């Protein structure tokens, strides 16, 4: 069957090349830099540095806090996200499809823009802070500085939708007949949920929470902006050790330890999915309209929480930018901004083309290799800071080269294409491909006329998320970019590092520009054509 999907007979060199291309790319840009980092960390640890660093109160706090904030985010996302997921999975209401679609919005918004959104809402000059200051007699934003709450809120912005979406998909597969049988036997709605629905959604939530932990633990942009001096994470500490203090050995030890921890969580993610997975049910529970007052209140509360967590930060950026004044908007006519915008578009387009080619090759080759299919998760497991630091150590003469920067962008983006296309290939009807071959279609013609049109929706979806990723990439740029290669993300960060309200207002305007660019790219790529594929 697999040779039909690939459009290639077994054993052809081109089929082998499809597997070698992404494997070689991962080996050069992930495995080899990690091995170099391992050697750096091991050499340092052999001298007792690992023990001395763990005995250091400052570094020990960084490690403990990194784990703690990721675990707290998982707990908050579960407690808040599961009730919202249940409401979205059980109730039919006007705009439900739009709400489910907007759940993907946090994945499209660059990390730096999300951090600015939190500051625009809850910072010292934020919308909420300035509104409440007159009532409370003190500035809420100032009180929240040097506290963990801003970082936890930013983590929820990005990760609540992961739990909600997983819960909605899982609850949609709960067997209606089993729930009805439980209710017939006298079970209350709560007991029916605990005994029937909860076991069904548990594997989905467990895997989603593993991803949330990885995203929070390996996050860089939010921790850099919102963590402050006390609540910055290990990723920020690694960047500081390399970029500002030139302590490569200490940074290598920290990166080594964090890589082991994230690898363990990723392994647990795979084991949970394998052991707890349950077959989908055909008799899904039908949606119902909320008619009772309690149901309507529950629905309103769920939508309000989604708005406050996932939409309010972005609206706060727009609000602050609109009322920033002509002086702030004048930044858009600066040559520096146009140069950064040009770099952002050029680098993103080049990285997107490379990511698409690698993603397609990986997806097709993964149908013949379970190990290669698993390797698609590797760029998700390894943090961008670790990747950039490893590249810096392994290829010092190439760290200021544009091809390496583009390749690093593509590395972080192409798994979206690979995973999306691989799922589409799994669902292809083999009989259609067999019929095309029976009618005399060559492998190349079968790919262009049959396979590609059927996987086109999944390909566009993966490319849309890949485009959003490369447009907002920040961590790799700080390590591998040159001053003349400044992008919108680095320009925003530079503005934030300068004192004065004018620079903050200019950063808000630039954040609006970057957010609009990411949303435009996402909509242009992901928009459905007039004649959709039968499998869309």
70 in Cβ contact with 216 (< 8 Å): yes
pLDDT for 271 = 60
d(CA 207, CA 74) in angstroms, rounded, equals: 11
d(CA 444, CA 423) in angstroms, rounded, equals: 21
pLDDT for 44 = 57
* Mean pLDDT of the 239-248 span: 73
Which of 65-79, 215-229, 415-429 holds the top average pLDDT?
65-79
Question: What one-character DSSP code corresponds to residue 27?
Answer: I
pLDDT tens readout for residues 446-500: 777 667 777 788 888 888 888 888 888 887 887 787 878 888 888 888 888 787 7
pLDDT for 236 = 84
pLDDT tens readout for residues 125-158: 788 877 877 677 777 777 787 788 989 999 999 8
Average pLDDT of the chain is 79
Q: Which H or E run contains 236?
A: helix 234-243
d(CA 519, CA 513) in angstroms, rounded, equals: 10
CATH class, domain 78-299, is: mainly alpha
pLDDT for 51 = 63
528 in Cβ contact with 459 (< 8 Å): no
pLDDT for 7 = 45
Answer positive or negative: Cα dihedral of 474, 475, 478, 484: negative
Q: Could you tell me what percent of the chain has a pLDDT over 70?
A: 80
- Show Cβ contacts of residue 218 under 8 Å, excluding neighbours closer than 6 positions: 235, 258, 262, 382, 383, 384, 385, 386
532 pLDDT band, cuts 50/70/90, is very low
Q: Which H or E run contains 347?
A: helix 335-366
pLDDT at 531 > cutoff 80: no
338 pLDDT band, cuts 50/70/90, is very high
pLDDT for 430 = 64
pLDDT for 197 = 82
pLDDT for 282 = 52
Torsions phi, psi of 414, nearest 5?
-70, -25
304 in Cβ contact with 312 (< 8 Å): no
| CATH for 10-43+325-529, options being 1.10.3720.10, 1.10.1060.10, 3.10.20.740, 2.70.210.12 | 1.10.3720.10
C-beta atoms surrounding 386 within 10 Å: 26
d(CA 373, CA 467) in angstroms, rounded, equals: 22
Provide CATH 1.10.3720.10 ranges for the chain.
10-43+325-529, 78-299
488 in Cβ contact with 340 (< 8 Å): yes
* Mean pLDDT of the 82-98 span: 89
Helices (runs of H) and strands (runs of E) counted in the chain: 31, 0
pLDDT at 102 > cutoff 50: yes
**Comparing C-alpha atoms, which of 478, 501, 503 is closest to residue 489?**
478
d(CA 525, CA 536) in angstroms, rounded, equals: 15
74 pLDDT band, cuts 50/70/90, is very high
pLDDT for 6 = 46
pLDDT for 77 = 94
pLDDT tens readout for residues 261-307: 776 776 666 566 555 444 445 567 778 888 888 889 999 999 999 99
Answer positive or negative: Cα dihedral of 491, 493, 499, 502: positive
d(CA 441, CA 464) in angstroms, rounded, equals: 31
Which of 31-35, 86-90, 438-442 holds the top average pLDDT?
86-90
pLDDT tens readout for residues 348-376: 999 999 999 998 888 888 776 666 766 77
**Comparing C-alpha atoms, which of 167, 153, 200, 174 is closest to residue 100?**
167
Top pLDDT among 96 and 247 is at 96
Q: Supply the Cα-derived Rg of the chain in whole angstroms.
A: 24
* Mean pLDDT of the 191-219 span: 82
pLDDT for 1 = 40
* Mean pLDDT of the 378-387 span: 76
d(CA 409, CA 399) in angstroms, rounded, equals: 13
pLDDT for 302 = 92
C-beta atoms surrounding 188 within 10 Å: 10
The token duo for 242 is 């390399």
Q: How would DSSP label each residue in 431-494?
A: HHHHHHHHTT--HHHHIIIIIHHHHHHHHHHHHHHHHHHHHT--HHHHHH--GGG--HHHHHHH
């Amino acid at each position: 069957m697999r040779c039909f999907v690939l459009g290639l007979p077994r054993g052809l060199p081109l089929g082998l090349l499809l597997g070698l291309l992404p494997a070689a790319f991962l080996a050069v840009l992930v495995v080899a830099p990690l091995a170099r980092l391992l050697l750096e960390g091991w050499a340092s640890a052999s001298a007792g540095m690992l023990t001395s660093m763990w005995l250091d109160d400052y570094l020990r706090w960084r490690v403990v806090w990194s784990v703690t904030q990721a675990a707290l985010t998982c707990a908050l996302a579960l407690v808040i996200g599961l009730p919202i997921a249940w409401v979205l999975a059980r109730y039919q209401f006007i705009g439900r499809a739009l709400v489910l679609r907007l759940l993907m919005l946090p994945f499209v918004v660059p990390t730096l823009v999300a951090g600015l959104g939190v500051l625009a809402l809850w910072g010292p000059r934020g919308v909420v802070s300035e509104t409440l200051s007159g009532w409370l007699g003190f500035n809420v934003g100032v009180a929240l500085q040097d506290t963990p709450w801003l970082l936890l809120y930013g983590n929820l912005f990005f990760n609540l939708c992961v739990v909600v979406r997983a819960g909605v998909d899982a609850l949609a597969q709960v067997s209606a007949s089993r729930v009805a049988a439980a209710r017939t036997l006298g079970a209350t709605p709560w007991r029916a949920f605990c005994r029937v629905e909860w076991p069904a959604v548990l594997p989905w939530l467990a895997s989603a929470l593993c991803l949330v932990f990885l995203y929070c633990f390996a996050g860089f942009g939010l921790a850099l902006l919102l963590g402050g001096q006390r609540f910055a994470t290990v990723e920020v500490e690694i960047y500081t050790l390399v970029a500002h203090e030139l302590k490569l050995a200490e940074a290598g030890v920290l990166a080594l330890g964090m890589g082991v921890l994230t690898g363990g969580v990723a392994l647990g993610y795979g084991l949970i999915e394998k052991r707890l997975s349950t077959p989908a049910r055909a008799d899904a529970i039908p949606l119902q309209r909320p008619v009772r007052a309690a149901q309507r209140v529950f629905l309103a509360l769920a939508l309000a929480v989604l708005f406050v967590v996932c939409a309010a930060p972005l609206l706060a950026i727009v609000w602050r930018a609109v009322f920033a004044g002509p002086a702030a908007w004048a930044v858009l006519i600066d040559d520096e901004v146009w140069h950064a915008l040009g770099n952002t578009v050029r680098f993103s387009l080049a990285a997107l083309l490379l990511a698409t080619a690698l993603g397609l090759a990986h997806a097709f080759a993964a149908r013949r290799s379970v190990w290669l299919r698993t390797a698609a998760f590797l760029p998700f497991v390894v943090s961008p800071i670790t990747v950039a630091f490893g590249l810096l150590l392994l290829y010092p003469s190439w760290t200021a080269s544009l091809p390496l920067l583009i390749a690093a962008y593509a590395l972080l983006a192409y798994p979206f294409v690979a995973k999306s296309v691989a799922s589409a290939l799994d669902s292809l009807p083999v009989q259609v491909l067999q019929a095309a071959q029976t009618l005399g279609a060559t492998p190349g013609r079968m790919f262009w006329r049959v396979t590609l049109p059927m996987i086109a929706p999944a390909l566009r979806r993966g490319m849309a998320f890949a485009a959003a990723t490369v447009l907002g990439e920040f961590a790799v740029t700080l390590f591998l970019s040159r001053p003349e290669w400044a992008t919108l993300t680095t320009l925003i960060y530079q503005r934030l590092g300068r004192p004065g309200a004018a620079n903050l207002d200019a950063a808000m305007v630039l954040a609006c520009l970057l957010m609009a660019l990411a949303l435009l790219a996402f909509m242009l790529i992901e928009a459905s054509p007039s004649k959709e594929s039968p499998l869309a």
